[in-house]
Amino acid sequence: MATPGALNSAAGLGTVANLSVNEWMADPANGSDWFEIYNGGPQPVALDGLFLTDDLTRKTLSPIPPLSFIGTGANGFVRFQADSDPNAGADHVKFKLSKSGDTIGIYSSAGTLVAAVSFGTQQTGVSQGRFPDGSPNTINFTTTVSPGESNYLPLSNVVVNEVLSHTDPPLEDAIEFYNPGAIDVNLGGWFISNTQENLKKYRIADGTTVPAGGFKVFYEFQFNSTNGSSIPFTLNSAHGDRVYLSQADGSGNLTGYRAAAAFGAAANGVSFGRYTNSIGEVDYAAMSARSFGADNPSTVGQFRTGIGAPNPYPRVGPVAINEVMYDPPSLDGIEDNTLDEYIELLNVTPNAVPLFDPAAPTNTWKLKGGVDYAFPQNITLPGGGFLLLVNFDPLADQAALAEFRTRYNLDASVPLFGPYNGHLANSGENIAWYKPDPPQAPPHPDAGFVPYVVVEQIHYSSLPPWPANATGTGSSLQRNAASSYGNDPANWLVGAPTPGRANGSTPFDADGDGLPDAWEIQNFGSINDPHATPNADPDGDGFTNLQEYFAGTNPTNASSRLQIDSAGRTGGSTTLQFVAVAGKTYSVLYRDDLSSGTWLKLTDVSAQGSTGAMTIGDPTSGSVTTRFYRLVTPAQP
């Protein structure tokens, strides 16, 4: 036990009978297999002398090293890496887990079985374990994998809806909960906390409810007071924090169900709100306005009268990530052409934005995540202005700069900055854009610390539901509206690159031949290649380059062309098959006589997320002996 300023005193140790195998992951999406041991007793337990195994006939397979202990409460969980590499550390064992089913056992030095669990086939990225901790009940944890921590499931009837952490009078810290259901929820006896190590900091008064479809707000004067809080607390606005709402039974025991929210450093007076994007992902994003109910008060007392309200739209800007070229075409034998990558930033406001703190100009805006970059001092982006971040030094490497500007026909007025550290992953990446908040002032314990506030964070992917066809095609990922929320695939599209210009504008065509420069470079390496003219047919498939451009096919591959690949009749129906190119729409037309009549529409095919075979049926063809078909792109009106 801890004895600061006094003689050390040994802690009393508990029995190994309180140990259990509490959670396991045998088929991780990435990383090593692992499992977790839990101590359900009130005292620490010595683990040295115990053995771990995945084969109950091999009791001493993986000994736990000397001087190993497991604590109690929030410290009563230890994760072991099942990677067959015990030399990697004391928490690594001499076996792996089988995703098709396995056993994990704990044995004493006397060869007695302390605890064991057997499991069947596992789902990728889903852990399995006991709920609540140490109980005989075993469940899957699909969204709440928690190695080395208490097992939990999300509450379905209450969510954390809004949090305010950076405040000065007449505001104070606030936490809002929302009940999405049709039945009132009684929160009496439940707990609010900002740390998983102690989920019972503030006990909610008996009889407190969140009405059906309604809100309940708790203010700092409640949870930062000894009246109701065993440990009063405020929310950390400089480093970010978490909020937990934990369900408890009538005796005050936690059930394992909880609602949680994590958030970063906050600007003064700006709240974080729950936002669900188009594919159901939940972010706690900075809100465009507070919505606790009394949001422009004259006094703190007036602010406390707010009873909650629906969240507004997330805050966007003032400088947004507007375009990402994450996988430019490979050139000159370079497999991963990172020199032509870029991230475009756009000032979405009419006012100039300094990319530094004017009161502390050495504190500049930063990009973090898959790539890292800190802006130099005294850079200001004019209202509506663009700038590009690139993977080379535009000041030191004039040759790369000239080639980049030529490749994208980039106006000399568009500033370039770089190099950033790392590169944009072709499969997907997290990009976070930060601005500095004023340094913490004395007598704050963090005096001098500079908080960095997330302006926006985007986790793009090359796979649906994110827009496809930006991988090595010469196209970029583009925001479809500057005012839209960034971390939502519905708010992005793929198109010809437009660095330094509005998204969706006409693709660059420096030689005016009707073929975008990016398409010519992707397929021929240069706009000046003699095979890159619009009427040329370098692969000899009967389609000109201009026709192949509109069809989205490969002008250097004769098997890649706009055509119906097969037609077959079964009974009274004809089946057609062709390759539908990602992002292209089609019309399938037919007529029964080529010498008379007109082409009639059989059906339209909408744009697909990826290129692949498309099958179309014509159930009306059984009444005729001959029918002709035509495939057209784009789809006709």
Residues 557-605 have pLDDT tens digits of 999 999 999 998 887 889 999 999 987 889 999 999 888 888 999 999 9
Q: According to the model, what pLDDT value does residue 583 have? A: 79
In the predicted model, is pLDDT for residue 70 greater than 90? yes
The reply to whether 85 and 171 lie within a common domain is no
The answer to whether residue 556 is domain-embedded is no
The reply to whether 50 and 162 lie within a common domain is no
How many structural domains is the chain composed of?
4
Alpha carbon separation from 524 to 57, 232, 472, 521, 587 (Å, rounded): 64, 67, 14, 5, 29
The reply to whether 342 and 488 lie within a common domain is yes
Tokens of 294: 């009394």
Q: According to the model, what pLDDT value does residue 335 have? A: 67
452 vs 610, more confident: 452
Mean pLDDT of the region 20-41: 96
Cα–Cα distance for residue pair 312/288, rounded to 1 Å: 6
The reply to whether 258 and 136 lie within a common domain is no
pLDDT band at 469 (very low <50, low <70, confident <90, very high): confident
Q: According to the model, what pLDDT value does residue 191 have? A: 97
Q: What is the DSSP letter of 92?
A: B
Element of type H or E holding 406: helix 398-407
Chain mean pLDDT for the chain = 92
Q: According to the model, what pLDDT value does residue 508 have? A: 64
Q: According to the model, what pLDDT value does residue 506 have? A: 60
In the predicted model, is pLDDT for residue 414 greater than 60? yes
The answer to whether residue 529 is domain-embedded is no
Q: According to the model, what pLDDT value does residue 622 have? A: 80
The answer to whether residue 313 is domain-embedded is no
Q: According to the model, what pLDDT value does residue 473 have? A: 82
The reply to whether 140 and 238 lie within a common domain is no
Mean pLDDT of the region 394-418: 91
Cα–Cα distance for residue pair 96/93, rounded to 1 Å: 8
Tokens of 46: 């010595």
Handedness of CA 587, 593, 594, 596 (dihedral sign): negative
Tokens of 369: 């995540």
The answer to whether residue 98 is domain-embedded is yes
Cα–Cα distance for residue pair 512/515, rounded to 1 Å: 8
Cα–Cα distance for residue pair 483/85, rounded to 1 Å: 50
The answer to whether residue 1 is domain-embedded is no
Output phi, psi for 145, to 5 deg. Answer: -60, 130
Q: According to the model, what pLDDT value does residue 526 have? A: 75
Q: Which domain holds residue 74?
A: 16-151
Cα–Cα distance for residue pair 560/553, rounded to 1 Å: 6
Q: According to the model, what pLDDT value does residue 332 have? A: 61
In the predicted model, is pLDDT for residue 11 greater than 80? no
The reply to whether 297 and 374 lie within a common domain is no
pLDDT band at 23 (very low <50, low <70, confident <90, very high): very high
Q: Which of 45-54, 145-154, 542-551 has the lowest average pLDDT? A: 542-551
In tens, the pLDDT along 603-619 reads: 999 888 778 899 999 98
Residue at a domain's end among 113, 131, 151: 151
Domain of 50, CATH number, reads 2.60.40.1260
Sheet holding 600-605, edge to edge: 600-605, 586-591, 628-632
First to last CA, the chain: 78
Alpha carbon separation from 287 to 450, 467, 484, 617 (Å, rounded): 22, 26, 13, 49
Question: Which runs of consecutive H residues, i.e. helices, occur in 528-628?
Answer: 545-551
In the predicted model, is pLDDT for residue 65 greater than 80? yes
Mean pLDDT of the region 546-555: 91
Mean pLDDT of the region 480-499: 92
Residue at a domain's end among 445, 477, 495: 495
With b meaning 16 or more CB within 10 Å and e meaning fewer, what string describes 606-633? ebbeebeebebebeebeeeeebebebbb
Q: According to the model, what pLDDT value does residue 391 have? A: 95
The answer to whether residue 28 is domain-embedded is yes
Handedness of CA 79, 85, 86, 88 (dihedral sign): negative
The answer to whether residue 621 is domain-embedded is yes
pLDDT band at 352 (very low <50, low <70, confident <90, very high): very high
pLDDT band at 1 (very low <50, low <70, confident <90, very high): low
In the predicted model, is pLDDT for residue 333 greater than 60? no
Residue at a domain's end among 443, 471, 495: 495
Mean pLDDT of the region 144-173: 96
- Give percent above pLDDT 70 in the chain: 97
pLDDT band at 159 (very low <50, low <70, confident <90, very high): very high
Cα–Cα distance for residue pair 70/77, rounded to 1 Å: 7
The reply to whether 136 and 254 lie within a common domain is no
In tens, the pLDDT along 495-545 reads: 889 999 888 766 666 677 778 777 887 788 777 788 989 899 999 999 999
The reply to whether 583 and 438 lie within a common domain is no
Cα–Cα distance for residue pair 278/355, rounded to 1 Å: 31
The reply to whether 165 and 292 lie within a common domain is yes
Q: Which residues contact 251 (CB under 8 A, 6 or more apart)?
A: none
Q: According to the model, what pLDDT value does residue 331 have? A: 66
Q: According to the model, what pLDDT value does residue 222 have? A: 96
The reply to whether 87 and 225 lie within a common domain is no
Q: What single-letter amino acid sits at 607? A: A
Q: Which residues contact 578 (CB under 8 A, 6 or more apart)?
A: 562, 563, 564, 565, 586, 613, 614, 616, 631
The reply to whether 288 and 326 lie within a common domain is no
The answer to whether residue 374 is domain-embedded is yes
The reply to whether 278 and 135 lie within a common domain is no
Q: According to the model, what pLDDT value does residue 505 have? A: 61
Cα–Cα distance for residue pair 601/584, rounded to 1 Å: 17
